[in-house]
A = this chain, B = another copy of it.
Amino acid sequence: MNVATDSPRRQQLTRIAARLFMQQGFDRTTVRMLADAMGIKSGSLFHHFADKQEILCAVIEDSTRHALFSARRALADAAPTTRARLLALARVHLDTLHDDRHAHGVALYEWRRLSDEDREHLTHLRDAYETLWLQVIEEARRAGQVQGDAAIITRYALGALNWTARWYDPDGPMDTAQLAHELVDMIVAPAS
């Protein structure tokens, strides 16, 4: 149940499942379709996962852990100005959202299909991620670079970024760096 402890085989299957769950939705993706895409028979699937629910949980957990890990590293590497730290978070958010777009789409659209336990477990991971953002925005607020309630700004920023999943075309003319800049310009007092 963890990126580090999962067998390579299981991680590979999880990625395939993420693609199908995103393309068809969880309910419409049958275990037979999953097995076909994985190159095994439907019965064999249950050697790797206890049930269909566990596959969904694995998809979301993998991608969330990866995002959390990347964001922490980006913050550690970023210049110590609040603006640079915010920009680093935004860039990493957009990049992981897009690189792992299947899994993050699943996390968005299929959240309610999780069992109560799985959802609570994944909520903690999510909260850890949001807290990274909240802390940086709270820094920015104390430095006078952001006005208003830090919690609301955080959720607005994350909402704006997550919504890009619905309209941003990675093959289009814009790149994620531009988008990240545009977001930071929107939430902090306009810079030079």
User: Within the complex, what minimum Cβ distance (angstroms) separates A159 from chain B?
Assistant: 2
Does A179 belong to the interface (CB within 8 Å)? Answer: yes
B27 close to A148 (CB less than 8 A): no
Contacts of A159 on B, CB cut-off 8 Å? 159-164, 166
Does A155 belong to the interface (CB within 8 Å)? Answer: yes
**8 Å CB contacts to B: which residues of A132-182?**
147-149, 152-153, 155-164, 166-167, 179, 182
A187 close to B186 (CB less than 8 A): yes
Contacts of A148 on B, CB cut-off 8 Å? 182, 185-186
Does A9 belong to the interface (CB within 8 Å)? Answer: no
Chain B residue nearest to A179 in the complex (CB): B152
Does A47 belong to the interface (CB within 8 Å)? Answer: no
Does A109 belong to the interface (CB within 8 Å)? Answer: yes
Q: What 9 pairs across the A-B complex have the smallest Cβ distances?
A: A159-B163, A27-B27, A156-B160, A159-B160, A160-B160, A152-B182, A148-B182, A159-B159, A147-B190
- The answer to whether A183 and B156 touch (CB under 8 A), given A27-B25, A147-B190, is yes
Q: How far, in angstroms, from A160 to B155 measured CA to CA in the complex?
A: 7
**8 Å CB contacts to B: which residues of A119-133?**
none
B189 close to A190 (CB less than 8 A): yes
B163 close to A155 (CB less than 8 A): yes
User: Within the complex, what minimum Cβ distance (angstroms) separates A153 from chain B?
Assistant: 7
Question: What would 7 more interface pairs be, CB under 8 Å, given A109-B109, A148-B182, A152-B182?
Answer: A153-B186, A155-B163, A156-B160, A156-B182, A159-B160, A159-B162, A189-B190
B167 close to A163 (CB less than 8 A): no
Does A113 belong to the interface (CB within 8 Å)? Answer: yes
